[in-house]
Structure 1
Amino acid sequence: MKYSAKKYIIEQHFPLSKEKIWELLGDTDRLNRFIGLFPVTFSPAKKVGDDTFYRLAEAKVAGLVPIVWREYPFQWVTNESYMVERRYEKGPLAHFLGGIELYEQNNKAKTTVRLIGEFTPRNLLGKAALPFTAVRSMHLTMKYLHDYLSNKVKDQTAYTPKKVTNKVNIPELTKLETQLSKLPVDSSYIPYLHQHLVEKMDHDVTQMRPYELARHWGVNPDEVLRLFLYATKVGILNLSWNLICPNCRVSKVSYNTLSQLENEFHCDLCGINYDANFENYVELYFSVHPSVRKAYAQSYCVGGPMISPHVKIQKVIEKGETYKTVIPPYHKKLRIRVLQANHTVDIQSVPSNQSKQAVELDYRNSGWSESTISVTPGNTAITIHNSSPEDIVVVVEQGEWSQEVVTAAKITALQEFRDLFSSEVLAPGQQVGIENVTILFSDLQGSTSLYEVVGDADAYGQVRRHFDYLTEMISKNSGSVVKTIGDAVMAVFHKPEDGFQAALHIQKHIAEFNDKNAGDITLKVGLYSGPAIAVNSNDRIDYFGRTVNIAARIQGQSTGNDIVFHKEYLNNSTIQFQLEKEDVILESFHANLRGISDSIELVRLQFKKTDKA
């Protein structure tokens, strides 16, 4: 016997902006936990015929009744609406189609929330259960928002909508926090971490991003990262590594150590293999240590909008169908992409007088009819025709990566990380690319004569103290010493401005160092930025490639008490600001570097006077 679909609509008004409600209801993994749904096991994405791809999902209702369904991609427009379709293969339901719609009232601080759920029972049990399960879940969704309103004044951090009873080993946590407070961390941040580990839900303490939590706590992100590193060292936390797909930006696989990292990984959603890359694809994250709290990372949803917050629109367009939309107002770079096929269209944002009022795009198996379109966000209408022989999923997504991800490129360039976790290295023979890294080389001028003048013992002491001085200056500017080569030092930084600031500090304060140590050290410094390869060398992360070679050759152009760098550094706004605060002389020149075919334009920086303060 076939049962007809039953549609339910619940509508309520809330004194919240659409953006805030979207943030709450768009986090479907957290929402599903709150409304009493069950953990789900999802298979990799698969596609049959010309239909849209789906994930096979399995769960047990109340831990007893098994259900299996095909979950098709969520469809959404950020801050406006989302919906999802599920076709059940086992269980009391046959089909579900549901989601939310948000309508802004005259006052932007008020929003109408409409919940829509269309349920088709498979059998009499499913029909009888609808009022007690489906409708109840919809009312609990509204309760989720009401609970937020009643709690938001007391808790501005990531919202936990109901009292969570966690088995936390408080004596062990307190003991370890005492140890942590004696380490070089901001101890005022420890209560934030304590409250988070004690009160938050399991998934909040098994996939922790320091920068994301810093935003919720309203504190310094780098200090929170430092806190997490030392908390890991004393045994409050564990660290792990996620491999992130460069397209959908969802974690695909996790590793306990960098040595387990593989060169290539596969994204089932995008259908493509990718090379591991330190710059964006490898992320450091933290979880609570089992001795403090046993927490389990279970999935309740893997396709909701907040899983991929960089995607502003996601839409299934059936073969032969047309979809019309308006690119949302957004100040960052956007593009249109077809999931799995990965054909893209770049979106160029222009003033309204430079764009058409309407743009049409045609999609075929071979790709898009245009590679770039010019639009005025919030104003230009876009019509997409799916002329391919199969259904497609189209997304409008931001190009920039989240700044709240601690990448392997960033963390492995920090001296504290290298000192605390020296065992975190790549496997022997493993090579991982980095899109952009800054390499600094320094060397002593006249080191041979130094040994002749003061003798081996005194000269060696001066050299060792100068290594300590360089390490301090490099570490203070978010860099780390990779290795020493004789009297020379090779250092790495994640950002050019950090390396440049370190070079300024090194040369600006070297006279003070000499006065303090009765020395006469003259340093030659050069730096360069570009792509490199990270490898394991003598059980440490080292860097090789053209960028490293050029940085070494640029340092060779230094004459002492100066800094030599590529002229492109002067285009960096942060470096420009750094230079405005210094009394320096800049001299441009061309140089032919050994092993480099073309002449390169460099800049020599010298301080007009040495700061001995």
Structure 2
Amino acid sequence: MASIDEKHLEEKLTALESARTWSPRLVSKLESHIRSASDSELLRINPIKFATDKTLNEKEAIDLFLHAAALGLFDMTWILICPVCSCVIDSFRALKNLRSRCRCTHCHLDLVAALDDMIAITFTVNPAIRRIAYHDPQTLSAEDYLFRYRSAIEGLIPDGTPFVKVREMLNRGLAYIEPGKTTTLEIIAEAGALHGSSSDSDAGILFIVDPALPPGEQRIAIRVDLESSTPDTGTIAAGKVIFELSNVADRRFEFGILQLPPGIDRPPPLHFAPFLSGKRLLTTQTFRDLFRSEVIRGHEGLGVKDIALLFTDLKGSTALYDRIGDLNAFALVQQHFDRLQDVTVRHNGAIIKTIGDAVMAAFLRPADAVQAALDMRSEIASFNKRQPDKALILKIGVHKGAAIAVTLNERLDYFGQTVNIAARVQGLADADEIFVSQDVYDATGVRDGLAAFAVEPRTAQLRGVQQELPVFRVGAAA
């Protein structure tokens, strides 16, 4: 029976209920999960999968877990997932500790993580609410440690089976090896190969099993440490094999051996079930509002392979301040910021920062950014109708591409040429105009979204860009 701190849980759930308006029974579904789910189901919850399993709105489920983490119901963890074997390479409780350069010891590969794919954000029940076995990984069995604590179920082989399940099926021997000790793994080898590896050490072996060799008991002594194994390769006969693994390192690590079928020396190409990526989290306004202290280490940014950036500005704002006074103009500009943020959030984006009277926003998809631009223009037009003597004149630009997520002025921001170009594409716009780059215009769903509008192709020479850039001016509805 799960041990739950009832008073603590009730306090946190009450605070969660009042944090915002939720769909009916949403918080009660979360409470039920906390109470009745298995320990493994409360480890590194994927909020997108949770939404699917519980028939919830995906965006609201993400907001739910972010608010729950902010209140202490759950611990938010950033994990690095190997794209080759779907193991959890490393995990971090804070963004500032996240390292983009990492090594998968199972695959013996050095990798650079990007916010788009290898970085996932998960939620584990807080031990003050309910303690689970995975809060104490050093006490887990080798099987639980490797196949649940150090593996992500999102990596799938082509038929949709989680790759970790395949690894469990192929597992022939798995144990902890204590420092200064020798551990014996006895295996019946079949045609193919025996592949040994560890999630905590670069020790690894690959022995080819040749059925043509004469059978007989084989005993192989292997010296393992945090860096290597000696010997690490060889050819053996089918049948009984006894591996004597001597750990000369100064700490314990687990070591497992898989039986690979003939002709297979590497994992099949994996695809991944949807998860909350770093890119999506950084374009979620709730995260930016609740976790303002989350920053990226100053000397190292995190790459994002593709992000849609939208810039806005107000034309003639200086004249507006002169005409109606600083206080009135400031209040008006703040109202305009509120409306632009509402539109941004509706279209899967987040406000990155405001610069004077301008806004920089980021979106998961270019089509979302373009639709947000159209709605922003419409929203400000409606706003102006209610106060024609204080009209705001909006100018918008949208561009997409690779960027670096960094911390600037103690806030999460984006840096790089994509950002520069996005700002300069906005600079091409005049009153009530939207300009989008060719990359944006060619992205999925954008042309369809602009079908009802007058779109005029142009070329522009932007400062800091050597070649002329094809752009498109989006006018009023055709």
Common topology (TM > 0.5): yes
Q: Which residue of 1 aligns with 2:465?
A: 596
In the alignment, which of 303, 306, 310 is matched to residue 156 of structure 2? Answer: 310
Deviations 1:324-357 (A, max 9, x none): xxxxxxxxxxxxxxx999xxxxxxxxxxxxxxxx
Question: Alignment length, in residue pairs?
Answer: 378
> For residues 468 and 312 of structure 1, what CA distance do their matches in structure 2 show?
45
Q: 1:312 touches 1:395 (CA, 8 Å); kept in 2?
A: no
> For residues 591 and 275 of structure 1, what CA distance do their matches in structure 2 show?
34
Structure 1 residue 492 corresponds to structure 2 residue 329: no
Tell me by how many angstroms 1:570 deviates: 3.7
In the alignment, which of 454, 467, 472 is matched to residue 324 of structure 2? Answer: 454
Deviations 1:480-518 (A, max 9, x none): 111222221111112212212211110112111123455
* 1:79-94 superposed matches below 5 A: none
Structure 1 residue 401 corresponds to structure 2 residue 272: yes
Q: Which residue of 1 aligns with 2:186?
A: none
Q: Which residue of 2 aligns with 1:540?
A: 411
For residue 334 of structure 2, what is the amino acid of its counterpart? R
Q: Which residue of 2 aligns with 1:300?
A: 143
Alpha carbons of 1:231 and 1:440: their partners in 2 closer, same or farther (altered >3 Å)? Answer: same
> For residues 152 and 288 of structure 2, what CA distance do their matches in structure 1 show?
33
Q: Which residue of 1 aligns with 2:182?
A: none
Q: 1:592 touches 1:598 (CA, 8 Å); kept in 2?
A: yes
Q: Which residue of 1 aligns with 2:241?
A: none
Structure 2 portions without partners, runs of 5+: 135-139, 160-165, 171-190, 194-203, 207-232, 234-260
Q: 1:173 touches 1:236 (CA, 8 Å); kept in 2?
A: yes
Structure 1 residue 291 corresponds to structure 2 residue 128: yes
Tell me by how many angstroms 1:277 deviates: 1.7
The secondary structure found in structure 2 opposite 1:434 is strand
Q: Which residue of 2 aligns with 1:166?
A: 2
Q: Which residue of 1 aligns with 2:371?
A: 501
Higher-RCO chain (CA-CA 8 Å, sequence separation at least 6): 2
Alpha carbons of 1:197 and 1:449: their partners in 2 closer, same or farther (altered >3 Å)? Answer: same
Tell me by how many angstroms 1:578 deviates: 3.0
Tell me by how many angstroms 1:589 deviates: 1.0
For residue 414 of structure 2, what is the amino acid of its counterpart? Y
Alpha carbons of 1:201 and 1:226: their partners in 2 closer, same or farther (altered >3 Å)? Answer: same
Q: Which residue of 2 aligns with 1:528?
A: 399
> For residues 357 and 320 of structure 2, what CA distance do their matches in structure 1 show?
11
Q: 1:246 touches 1:281 (CA, 8 Å); kept in 2?
A: yes
> For residues 81 and 384 of structure 2, what CA distance do their matches in structure 1 show?
47
Deviations 1:444-503 (A, max 9, x none): 111222222222232222222222222222122221111222221111112212212211
> For residues 568 and 426 of structure 1, what CA distance do their matches in structure 2 show?
28
In the alignment, which of 42, 48, 60 is matched to residue 223 of structure 1? Answer: 60
* 1:547-566 superposed matches below 5 A: 547-566=418-437
Tell me by how many angstroms 1:276 deviates: 2.9
Deviations 1:537-558 (A, max 9, x none): 1211111111101101110111
> For residues 85 and 297 of structure 2, what CA distance do their matches in structure 1 show?
27
* 1:63-462 superposed matches below 5 A: 165-184=1-20, 185-297=22-134, 298=140, 300-301=143-144, 302=146, 307=153, 309-312=155-158, 393-398=265-270, 400-403=271-274, 405-462=275-332
Larger radius of gyration: 1
For residue 343 of structure 2, what is the amino acid of its counterpart? M
Q: Normalising by structure 2, what TM-score? A: 0.73
Alpha carbons of 1:415 and 1:517: their partners in 2 closer, same or farther (altered >3 Å)? Answer: farther
Deviations 1:43-85 (A, max 9, x none): xxxxxxxxxxxxxxxxxxxxxxxxxxxxxxxxxxxxxxxxxxx
Alpha carbons of 1:262 and 1:599: their partners in 2 closer, same or farther (altered >3 Å)? Answer: same
> For residues 469 and 233 of structure 1, what CA distance do their matches in structure 2 show?
25
> For residues 395 and 373 of structure 2, what CA distance do their matches in structure 1 show?
10
Q: Which residue of 2 aligns with 1:575?
A: 446
Q: 1:416 touches 1:475 (CA, 8 Å); kept in 2?
A: no
Q: 1:463 touches 1:487 (CA, 8 Å); kept in 2?
A: yes
Q: 1:180 touches 1:230 (CA, 8 Å); kept in 2?
A: yes
The secondary structure found in structure 2 opposite 1:603 is strand
Tell me by how many angstroms 1:187 deviates: 4.2
> For residues 218 and 533 of structure 1, what CA distance do their matches in structure 2 show?
35
Alpha carbons of 1:307 and 1:448: their partners in 2 closer, same or farther (altered >3 Å)? Answer: closer
For residue 413 of structure 1, what is the amino acid of its counterpart? T
The secondary structure found in structure 2 opposite 1:231 is helix
> For residues 340 and 563 of structure 1, what CA distance do their matches in structure 2 show?
58
Alpha carbons of 1:453 and 1:202: their partners in 2 closer, same or farther (altered >3 Å)? Answer: same
Q: 1:425 touches 1:541 (CA, 8 Å); kept in 2?
A: yes
Q: 2:308 touches 2:365 (CA, 8 Å); kept in 1?
A: yes
- Larger deviation, residues 507-516 vs 546-555: 507-516
Deviations 1:584-612 (A, max 9, x none): 21111111111111112111112238xxx
Q: Which residue of 2 aligns with 1:25?
A: none
Tell me by how many angstroms 1:295 deviates: 1.5
The secondary structure found in structure 2 opposite 1:417 is helix
> For residues 123 and 327 of structure 2, what CA distance do their matches in structure 1 show?
45
The secondary structure found in structure 2 opposite 1:201 is coil
For residue 420 of structure 1, what is the amino acid of its counterpart? L
In the alignment, which of 577, 586, 594 is matched to residue 455 of structure 2? Answer: 586
The secondary structure found in structure 2 opposite 1:473 is helix
Q: 1:272 touches 1:340 (CA, 8 Å); kept in 2?
A: no
The secondary structure found in structure 2 opposite 1:556 is helix
Q: Normalising by structure 1, what TM-score? A: 0.57
> For residues 412 and 41 of structure 2, what CA distance do their matches in structure 1 show?
31
The secondary structure found in structure 2 opposite 1:394 is coil
Alpha carbons of 1:236 and 1:307: their partners in 2 closer, same or farther (altered >3 Å)? Answer: closer
> For residues 414 and 307 of structure 1, what CA distance do their matches in structure 2 show?
24
> For residues 126 and 377 of structure 2, what CA distance do their matches in structure 1 show?
43
Tell me by how many angstroms 1:209 deviates: 0.7
The secondary structure found in structure 1 opposite 2:272 is coil
The secondary structure found in structure 1 opposite 2:143 is coil
> For residues 514 and 222 of structure 1, what CA distance do their matches in structure 2 show?
31
Q: Which residue of 1 aligns with 2:215?
A: none
> For residues 168 and 401 of structure 1, what CA distance do their matches in structure 2 show?
33
The secondary structure found in structure 2 opposite 1:564 is strand
The secondary structure found in structure 2 opposite 1:285 is strand
Q: 1:259 touches 1:427 (CA, 8 Å); kept in 2?
A: yes
Tell me by how many angstroms 1:252 deviates: 1.0
> For residues 550 and 528 of structure 1, what CA distance do their matches in structure 2 show?
7
Alpha carbons of 1:309 and 1:262: their partners in 2 closer, same or farther (altered >3 Å)? Answer: closer
For residue 16 of structure 2, what is the amino acid of its counterpart? L
- Larger deviation, residues 235-244 vs 184-193: 184-193
Tell me by how many angstroms 1:522 deviates: 0.5
